[in-house]
Amino acid sequence: MTPPNISLHDKQFAPYLSAAQLQATVTALAARLNHDYAGKQPLFVAVLNGSFMFAADLMKQLHIPCEITFIRVASYQGTGSTGKVQEVMGLYEKLTDRHVVLLEDIVDTGHTMRMLLDTLGEHKPASLEVATLFLKPECLQHELELRYIGQEIPNDFIVGYGLDYDGLGRNYPDVYTVI
């Protein structure tokens, strides 16, 4: 059962999207990926930590031969982006001539995605796309072609389903917004 409100650190959060709504979004993305990557054997690169629940649920619904690996980057502090992306854990798989799909929990400023697309693009993949659960279009500071977007949301700070507030809140199956 979804708690009516949750308290994390110094902030209160109210329910925003239910686990059922999130699963419907993931199912729709998986259907598109299954169709678009049929016969291609893509490599999915999940961006940790936030995308772990999204990536796990998405992978369970992919019915194509594929692989997954993980990269960790950080650009958040508290409830806002620092604007600086720091690669924490590297990517060791060969990307040349592979179909690569970055899995991200949320794209807001686009700093992380711009850095990852530029960095991974240097390895000359056959294709390089982004699948993001959430997009905050009014926050976007980079021109990005995002082919797979689960939902566009307003510029509200959200937690749950892998997203956190200073380390807390990732464990909730639903998404909450700050009140």
Q: Give the catalytic positions in this structure.
A: 108
Lookup: tokens for 63? 């019915």
What's the Cα-to-Cα distance from 31 to each of 27, 38, 40, 88, 150, rounded to whole Å? 6, 11, 15, 31, 12
Lookup: tokens for 173? 């199956």
Count CA atoms closer than 13 A to 78's CA, side-chain side: 5
What is the SS3 assignment for 30?
helix
DSSP 62: -
What is the SS3 assignment for 144?
coil
CB atoms within 10 A of CB 77: 11
How far apart (Å, rounded) are the C-alpha atoms in residues 147 and 99? 14
88: left (phi over 0), alpha (psi -120 to 50) or beta: alpha
